[in-house]
Amino acid sequence: MFERHDPLHGGGIDVTVDMDVSMVTLALHGAWESRLQHATYAAMVKCLSEHPAVLLLDLRAVTDPHAASVTMWMTARRLGDGMEPPVQILACVPSGTALGARLHRLGAARFLSIYPTIALARAAAGRRPLTDRLVLQLHPSSGAPARARAAVIDACAAWQLPELRDRACVVVSELVINAVQHAGTAITVVLFRRGSAMHLAVGDENPRLPRLRDTFPASLDVQPHQRGLGLHIVHAAATVWGAAPTADGKVVWATIRPGTGRRWPPS
């Protein structure tokens, strides 16, 4: 889970998700020192585990007078390129900074898409062609989970991902039920095909991030699609999942890859 950075605590990291273009923004704050370096690498790996189409590195608020962070951004590009399909890495680096100058000297444009403003970087992400993408707007009603499941079934058929259908239906159903019960706001469901995997995201307007409880729900006398059994079902069925703030609330996401989930089906 990614919590918002509190500037009162000094340097840190903010992670936000743009569901419309499957983009995760990693924003750094503070001096580029050992603690921030370790936190950045961990957050970067976690962001890439979501397998977004784009990872945007917002470096406007990082203090790096010696441009020591260059190797980290080269690593980001290498990790993104190594995924299937690849994740595009964009960086926002203000003009006139030591980091920007060093990246220019290294010919960074050959391996990293760099923009001087966040608006230009986001515009570039928005111009990416997004194929195999389905967006569903839902009201927080009892019928919302069924509509979300129907969308997943249609998507799996259209994208020839039949192996993922049952797990994806369970996951999207649980996430939508949670949004209906705990947020009660408009709900956005976005489905992406990412190679042989499906990435799904459920967004609502409540900024409070969900928590995985220590104990599994006691009542298992109904089918998973009939009621919400909490994030334990998501944790079992998804290959990887998480949650992050958005501009107007939060998004809970999950990636379903071929093969079984962590513990799916449950015993």
Q: What angle do CA 253, 258, 261 make, to 5 degrees?
A: 60
**Where exactly are the structural domains of the chain?**
7-126, 133-256
pLDDT at 214: 60
pLDDT at 140: 95
Examine domains 7-126 and 133-256 and report if their fold is the same.
no
pLDDT at 7: 59
pLDDT in tens, 73-87: 999 999 999 988 889
pLDDT in tens, 2-34: 555 555 566 789 998 887 778 899 999 999 999
CATH architecture of 133-256: 2-Layer Sandwich (3.30)
Confidence of residue 227 (pLDDT cuts 50, 70, 90): very low
CATH architecture of 7-126: 2-Layer Sandwich (3.30)
pLDDT at 2: 54
pLDDT at 224: 46
pTM over 0.75: no
CA–CA dist 132, 158 (Å, integer):
9
Average pLDDT, the chain: 85
pLDDT at 222: 42
Task: Convert 91-111 into a string of H (helix), E (strand) and C (coil).
Answer: EECCCCCHHHHHHHHCCHHHC
CA–CA dist 155, 159 (Å, integer):
6
pLDDT in tens, 27-84: 999 999 999 999 999 999 988 988 888 999 999 999 999 999 999 999 999 999 998 8
